[in-house]
Amino acid sequence: MEKMTGSEILMKSLVEEGVTTIFGHPGGAILHAYDVLIDYPIKHVLCRHEQVATHAAEGYYKTTGKPGTVMVTSGPGATNCVTAITDALMDSMAIVVLTGQVPTAVMGCDAFQEADVVGTTRACTKHNFLAQRAEDIPRIIKEAYYIARSGRPGPVLVDLPKDALMGHGTFQGYPKDVSIRGYNPQLYGHPSQIKKAVELIAQAKRPVIYGGGGIIHSDASEELHEMIDITQIPTTLTLMGLGALPTNHPLWLGMLGMHGTYWANMCMVHCDLMIAIGSRFDDRITGKVSEFGKQCKIIHVDIDPTSIRKNVNVDVPVVGDVKCVLRELNKKLRNVRRNWAKDFEEWYAEIEACKIQHPLRYEQREGVIKPQYAIDMILRLTEEYDPIVSTGVGQHQMWAAQVYRGRMPRRWLTSGGLGTMGYGFPAALGAQAAFPDSLVVNIDGDGSFQMTMQDLCTLLEYELPVKTFIINNKYLGMVRQWQQLFYGQRYSQVNIDHQPDFVKLAEAFGITGIRIERPEEVKAGIEKAISTPGPVVVDVVVDREENCFPMIPAGAAIKDIIDVGEPIPDKLFQGWR
């Protein structure tokens, strides 16, 4: 058996685990691990802020399906990750965060750059470990990655004291198997529950499928597609589920929720059966919970038993991996003798009428760029490249979600549960590191981008050609919209008119900057950004006070959704239907 330092054991374990890329930032307590890292075949992306490194790991996971890895130092290095770790927990992102820690002898003594990271992150990780001995590291790393990616995916943190990294231990090989007492994610749904679900689906007259991010995490898009092909049930997806079904599918209803399509939300109000798959009944979906789903039966498929009946009572819960459950459901649904499409003709007609009466729309006049127009054009002009699209958080995020033209899963990156401003740019960085030859588009807000923009230099250093489009209204736009609609137009601390010149900023980092200020410049500016080699920042100056509709006011029932204001004359209509 071989004697090695804890750092060598750590790196050897990571290689055995299949880790090829780490996002991170070094510091004193993790210094020895960084010294050893040089000798191992692992690419390290030096981010300028630990939050960026952690969001980048989220982007890496979402696009590859493999856990993202982060390595940072103790104290502030570790605490800077906390926002992104929480984001990963809310959105079920499998990442493993390796944090340095002060030597065990001085832990609890307020040592320099000491923070109780295990205690701090206990509530925002799926699990965390303190590795006190070099010999423990292989088992802990094996368990950390297993926990991160299995069951409902999530963030796992491994705290590594300096003496455990520098001390020597016997490396007895990397474990091949994992056995964790009390942790056995249930993959297969109970047969009797699946039978009940099939019976409900077979009897439904106005059903709707409501899919969430669990479909993406489970790689179950094919099974979802098959279920829709068999049953011909109209399908809507959550913000996190976008991409699970091609947006050109005839039964695709668009996104539902607070800023989802009017007709998708009305389907939730008027259906007689709701089939929730890999979704968690977030309050942005349900609106007023006491009014949600009162008129229908509900089937809920989810691998996380704690999500079942957490927010909404359901009639048939099916605990299991979405892919496994859908395969079983599809087997049985194929045996149901029914003319599905004919039986749903009346239901289809109602939905179609609602689409015509309440389309997504905007009015693009001369002079000022409407943000919807800019985002629509970005997605139209990049569609042929099958881009990976990330967003920040705010109005631009919701507009991008409404008009998203995804055809494949794992192409859409956004922060849903925590709603983390500053997410889009680092997530795009992580995705581009995973797929250096793909087109990665970051649609950001001026407020959101300013939270993590310091890592523009990371793009340049690692030749990551991310195209960032800043939808710049010089406001914290979504907050301003709420203040306008619900606080009597009293705008408080939302004006960010004083901001950097984003073109000069990009150029200061050695990156191409482009500004688009007029509607007639939009198409050419986007095409120039796409064709320019390397990373590009595009400052798109848009209408300052445009609002994002439809909108379900916070705490209101879905039926109280606010549609766009006055009807737009047909001759001015330039939106999408």
Spell out the residues 6+ positions from residue 337 whose beta carbon is closer than 8 angstroms to its own.
none
Which backbone phi and psi does 269 adopt, to 5 degrees? -80, -35
What span, in angstroms and rounded, lies between the C-alpha atoms of 113 and 388? 37
Query: Closest Cα to residue 43, out of 434, 528, 368, 362?
Result: 434
Q: Is 226 a catalytic residue?
A: no
Which backbone phi and psi does 266 adopt, to 5 degrees? -70, -30
Q: What is the DSSP letter of 187?
A: -
Kindly name the residue from 112, 489, 504, 545 that is annotated as catalytic. 112
The structure tokens 């980048």 sit at 56
Q: What is the DSSP letter of 542?
A: B
Kindly name the residue from 62, 126, 162, 297 that is annotated as catalytic. 162
DSSP string, 33-80: HHHHHTTSS-EEEE-SSHHHHHHHHHHHHHHHSS-EEEEE-STHHHHT
Q: Is 11 helix (H, G, I), strand (E, B) or coil?
A: helix
Strand boundaries in 426-541, DSSP class E: 440-445, 467-472, 512-516, 536-541
Q: Is 162 a catalytic residue?
A: yes
Q: Is 199 a catalytic residue?
A: no
Q: Is 274 a catalytic residue?
A: no
Query: Closest Cα to residue 93, out of 102, 106, 83, 84?
Result: 84
Asked if 63 and 413 touch (Cβ cutoff 8 Å), the reply is: yes
What span, in angstroms and rounded, lies between the C-alpha atoms of 159 and 174? 19
Q: Is 461 a catalytic residue?
A: no
Kindly name the residue from 421, 478, 546, 551 that is annotated as catalytic. 478
Q: What's the angle, vertex CA 72, arms to CA 66 and CA 78, rounded to 5?
A: 105
What span, in angstroms and rounded, lies between the C-alpha atoms of 94 and 157? 11
User: What are the residues facing 275 on neighbouring strands?
Assistant: 209, 299
Asked if 126 and 155 touch (Cβ cutoff 8 Å), the reply is: yes
Kindly name the residue from 8, 17, 50, 546 that is annotated as catalytic. 50
Between the alpha carbon of residue 127 and those of residues 23, 91, 134, 267, the distances in Å are 20, 15, 20, 38
Provide the angle, in degrees to the nearest 10, between the axes of the packed helices 82-90 and 50-64: 20
Q: Which residues form the catalytic set?
A: 50, 112-113, 162, 478
